[in-house]
Chains A and B, each alone.
Chain A
């Protein structure tokens, strides 16, 4: 089974620029998550999608971050404009909605490491 695909792996941008990350979850997984992992901290949830609808975006800084999952499959996360404190690894994860799928926990992608200079 293919894993969660993310691109790009690395990105360096200047502050105030915009950036976008892409995620393709495991086939058939209805639930998709974006997490932010700042160096030295655990991953923090940014947004959760169920199919193409947003379930939880309470921790998404909506003044600069946006995310979409238009067709209920792949997703993009955008930052505009970026700040220095946005430097982090952005992780995408997915899981199925059936209990036996959720019992495996989330499957994470390799992440995109963003450096804002």
Chain B
């Protein structure tokens, strides 16, 4: 069975600081990796995804993530966060046609 581990439950940053949220997964086969974001009071939205090819994927709003197969990691990054990035971020994994398995989420608070 696949599982996802997110390193930090809460992260607090000032505006313009750089962001890196850790995500590790456990599964021995080919995986599909996702980052979802949930803004306060809103539904889960897809931020970016990796299926194959270039391990550095770019998503919406300046986010990017790097798939490192040897480390079973898919960390989310943004060079300069904004107050509007305050949200909860979920890493998720699927394999083939299996369902999405989510991590516990990281709550990001950006102070202006």
Contact = CB atoms under 8 A, between A and B. Distances in A.
Interface string B86-112: 000010100001011111110000000
Interface of B: 4, 9, 34, 36, 42-46, 49, 51, 90, 92, 97, 99-105
Q: Sort A-B residue pairs by CB-CB distance and give the 9 closest, nearest first.
A: A42-B102, A108-B44, A110-B43, A105-B46, A42-B104, A108-B43, A43-B102, A45-B99, A42-B105
A103 B99 contact: no
Nearest to A92: B43
A33 B99 contact: yes
Interface in A8-44: 33, 40-44
Contacts of A109: 43
Contact of A45 (B46, B51, B100): B100
B99 A105 contact: no
6 contacts: A40-B104, A42-B105, A43-B90, A45-B100, A108-B43, A111-B43
A56 B97 CA distance: 12
Interface of A: 3-4, 33, 40-45, 48, 56, 91, 93, 102-106, 108-111
Given A48-B99, A91-B44, A105-B34, A42 B49 contact: no
Given A48-B99, A110-B42, 5 more contacts: A33-B100, A44-B102, A103-B49, A105-B49, A109-B43
Contacts of A33: 99-100
Given A42-B90, A108-B43, A110-B43, A56 B102 contact: no
